[in-house]
Structure 1
Amino acid sequence: MIHGIKSIKDAVKSVYALNAPAQLFAIYVKPLSAGKVQEKIKEDIVNTFKDNLYAEKIDVSFEVLKDVSGQEKESSPAQFRMTLSKPLKKEVIEEALTSAGYPNMLEQGLESGMEYQTVKIAFNSQQNEEAIKSTIKNAFEMPNPLKRVVSIGATVAGEMKSRAILAVIFSCIATIFYVWFRFGDFKFGSAAIIAVIHDILITLGAVAVADYLFGNMKIDSAMVAAFLTVIGYSLNDTIVIFDRIRENMGVRGNVLTPQLVNDSINQTLSRTILTGITTIGVLCALFFLGGPEIHGFAFVMLVGIIVGTYSTIFIACPMLLKWKGLDSASQALPRQNFPIQRRREVAKNT
């Protein structure tokens, strides 16, 4: 029944007979992509309110094309350079010219989907030039009520959620390999990723609680960017402490002990606290003074920075000890009462 209708056939996912002999059918249609859903919503709204929409005026100017000698071209048709006050897609320009009664006036070779502010047009030089220009100018009064989509349906939200999850997964995988290469041990990368997963889950839970209590805390593209920023901040803080641990391990015979980890944390604690307090102060200003548009972004960043600061100390480092404790060469040494010295200081004393 739908085999010969290509546009419908491509959209249909499956067809099932509901009775025998088959008189009723259940047709499952493939879900639309985010872009198609947005375009469909916009088209339906514009068609419903087309008689009451604000028409945006696009200013149009014309310039006669001249040859290298500076003389106007004598050949027919006459050619003009049409300049718009704002860039428009090729399809929008063609639609405006078609509505004005000149469907084949636009130059050839323009790419579909690209925006152009200056294009070439051509029409018969024997026609009334001023009347054509006036008609074209009137055609560029077009309704454009939807500047951007702020809230969209479940299909687009599901697509955004899938992309956000993939972004987090790929960033975690890339981080594991980077830390593995940087420190020469897979366990460093694993401990850092466990801390990052903790940060993401706690922050995501805080967003859910805030949305339940106060509302208007929906996950959007800005909030996804905030989650990825939290991942980067937490990893940066973790790598600073891990780098100090590796540096101190070189002084202690390349053996990891709880005392060495504790001393390394104390050596970087002032940096961790000062950086965290400074960042939290800026985020508090964004959250309370930045307006509702960036509340979600500032809230995720604020919670993520707080959680990421303590997870570096209380989750990443203990997990590193747990991983390294699986090796027989990583048994704890007796507690030492002298502070760890840098390699250059030890070399100087010897």
Structure 2
Amino acid sequence: MRIFNFSQPLNFMRLKWAAVGLSTLLVLGSFASIAIKGINWGLDFTGGTVIEVGFATPADLTAVRQTLTDAGYGDAVVQLFGTSRDVLIRIPLRTDVEQAAVGDSVISALNTQQSEPVTMRRVEFVGPSVGQELKEDGGLAMLIALIGILLYVTMRFEWRLSVGAVASLAHDVILTMGLFSLLQLEFDLTVLAAILALIGYSINDTIVVFDRIRESFRKLRATSVDETINDAITSTLNRTVITSATTMMVLVVLFYMGGALIHGFATALLFGIAIGTYSSIYVASAIAEILGISREDMLPPPPVEKEGENTDAIM
């Protein structure tokens, strides 16, 4: 299936400096937001208590928040969990003595304001040491993924393409975290999983483009580097658009139908895939070209002549 059918390659590299400049500004803005506003870490990383309760009738979240505020839990996060009768309550970390009784205290406070009893579905407690360990392990997982991709692309292609690929992935991750910082969206384990999935998705898209760049360098001998890269990107544009569009359709359904707990995951992937499609075209390829990628770098090495081998034609 082909959405676009171009008679001539599109001139993507004409905008490479503008794209690199825009990406630089966005990355710096993301760093600034993270430094000033910070990341709104979820209870998975900071520690605290997650309580799932069931109501006999549709829950009034405003009344639930007010009840918890009156009970001394003004910092609680209250949201629907699946249906209008299921409510998820997140309470930040308190002292160990208070934490052990948080679940019973919350249920007691809610039952005093309800005509029908509120049932406790589950209570989960995450300690501060566990949260810190999850934060460190998550950062280490992203670092190892980027280093592994750097080595893989270097061995499969060429170091300039490797630098472009890793810069593209780092660009996607930083901008996604910048979005969560700017909007103060909760960053929990599901968002971390989305970012790791984004790294895998984005590198797959970049590798497809790099494969075609290598083929184009070997096939098109009378074209410039700009023209060769433009031809490679244009020839993969249908695949890129179809893959991104179908993936985002699924994520839109997840965002609207998956419930509150999946919103962060879907948001990270929706934004990350849009940014990743752009960075595969402009950031990865543009950086490789700026670093001086050439046709000679993509040609296979000449065959090594074995010692004593007679290369003359047999008479």
TM-score, L = length of structure 1: 0.50
Tell me, what secondary structure is at the counterpart of 1:148? strand
Q: What is the distance in 1 between the residues matched to 2:208 and 2:95?
A: 49
Q: 2:270 aligns with which of 302, 321, 327?
A: 302
> Which residue in 2 is equivalent to 1:80?
none
Corresponding position: 1:163 with 2:131: no
Verify the 8 A CA contact 2:217 2:295 in the aligned structure 1. no
Give the direction of change, closer, same or farther, for the CA distance of 1:321–1:293 in structure 2 (3 Å limit): same
CA distance, structure 2, for counterparts of residue 209 and residue 50 of structure 1: 32
In structure 2, C-alpha distance between the alignment counterparts of 1:41 and 1:203, rounded to whole Å: 30
Q: How does 1:104-183 map to 2 (within 5 A)?
A: 147-149=123-125, 152=126, 156-183=130-157
Tell me the distance in 1 between the aligned counterparts of 2:132 and 2:269. Answer: 23
Q: Are the counterparts in 2 of residues 241 and 268 from structure 1 also a CA contact under 8 Å?
A: yes
Distance in 2, matches of 1:253 and 1:223, equals: 45
* Shift in CA distance, 329/255, structure 1 to aligned 2, threshold 3 Å: farther
Q: CA deviation at 1:43?
A: 6.8
* Counterpart position of 2:260: 292
Larger helix percent: 2
Residue 168 of structure 1: CA displacement? 0.9
Aligned partner of 1:241 in structure 2 is 209
Structure-to-structure mapping, 1:180-259, within 5 angstroms: 180-183=154-157, 185-211=158-184, 217-253=185-221, 257-259=225-227
- Give 1:262's aligned amino acid: N
Q: CA deviation at 1:161?
A: 2.4
Pair 42,145 (structure 1): closer, same or farther in 2 beyond 3 Å: farther
* Alpha-carbon distance between aligned partners in 2 of 1:51 and 1:209, rounded to the nearest angstrom: 35
Q: Distance between the aligned counterparts of 2:95 and 2:219, measured in 1?
A: 65
Q: 1:53: how far off?
A: 11
Distance 1:269 1:254 in 2: 23
Q: How far is 1:180 from its partner?
A: 1.3
Task: Spell out the pairing of 1:256-295 with structure 2 (5 A cutoff).
Answer: 257-295=225-263
| Cα distance in structure 1, aligned partners of 2:187 and 2:242 | 30
Residue 274 to residue 156, structure 1, CA distance change in 2 (3 Å): same
Matching residue within 269, 281, 289 for 1:313: 281
Q: Judge conservation of contact 1:256–1:321 (CA < 8 Å) in 2.
A: no
| Structure-to-structure mapping, 1:91-106, within 5 angstroms | none
Q: 1:47 to 1:209 in 2, by over 3 A?
A: closer
Output one character per residue of 1:34-70: Cα deviation in whole Å (capped at 9) or x when no partner.
Answer: 99x789979745864799899xxxxxxxxxxxxxxxx
Q: Partners in 2 of 1:50 and 1:194 — Cα distance?
A: 45
The 1:166–1:52 alpha-carbon spacing in structure 2 relative to 1, beyond 3 Å, is closer
Whether the aligned pair in 1 keeps the contact of 2:160 and 2:288 (CA below 8 Å) is yes
Task: State the Cα distance separating 1:158 from its structure 2 match.
Answer: 3.6
Question: Which AA in structure 2 matches 1:148?
Answer: E
Using the aligned pairs only, state the percent identity. 33
Deviations 1:115-154 (A, max 9, x none): xxxxxxxxxxxxxxxxxxxxxxxxxxxxx985423xx576
Which structure: larger Rg?
1
CA RMSD of aligned residues (A): 3.5
* Aligned residues of 1:42 and 1:146 also touching (Cα < 8 A): no
Q: Describe the shift of the 1:45–1:246 C-alpha distance in structure 2 as closer, same or farther (beyond 3 A).
A: same
Contact kept, 8 Å, 1:195 with 1:312, in 2: the verdict is: yes
Q: Secondary structure at the match of 1:169?
A: helix
SS in 2 for 1:324: coil
1:164 and 1:317 map into 2 onto residues whose CA distance is 28
Q: Is the 8 A contact 1:249 1:256 kept in 2?
A: no
Q: 1:251 to 1:289 in 2, by over 3 A?
A: same
Kindly indicate whether the alpha-carbon contact (under 8 Å) linking 2:48 and 2:127 is maintained by their aligned counterparts in 1.
Answer: no
Higher RCO structure (Cα 8 Å, ≥6 apart):
2
- Per-residue Cα deviation, 1:252-302 (whole angstroms, up to 9, x for no partner): 359971100000000000110111111111111111121101111111011
2:194/2:265 contact within 8 Å kept: yes
TM (norm. structure 2) is 0.55
Q: Does the C-alpha gap of structure 1 residues 47 and 308 become closer, same or farther in structure 2, counting only changes over 3 Å?
A: closer
Distance 2:266 2:217 in 1: 38
Give the distance between the partners of 2:222 and 2:152, measured in 1 at CA: 21
Structure 2 unaligned residues grouped into runs of 5+: 1-43, 50-92, 108-119, 298-315
Shift of residue 174, structure 1, vs aligned partner: 0.3
Which whole-Å CA distance do the structure 2 matches of 1:45 and 1:187 have between them?
A: 55
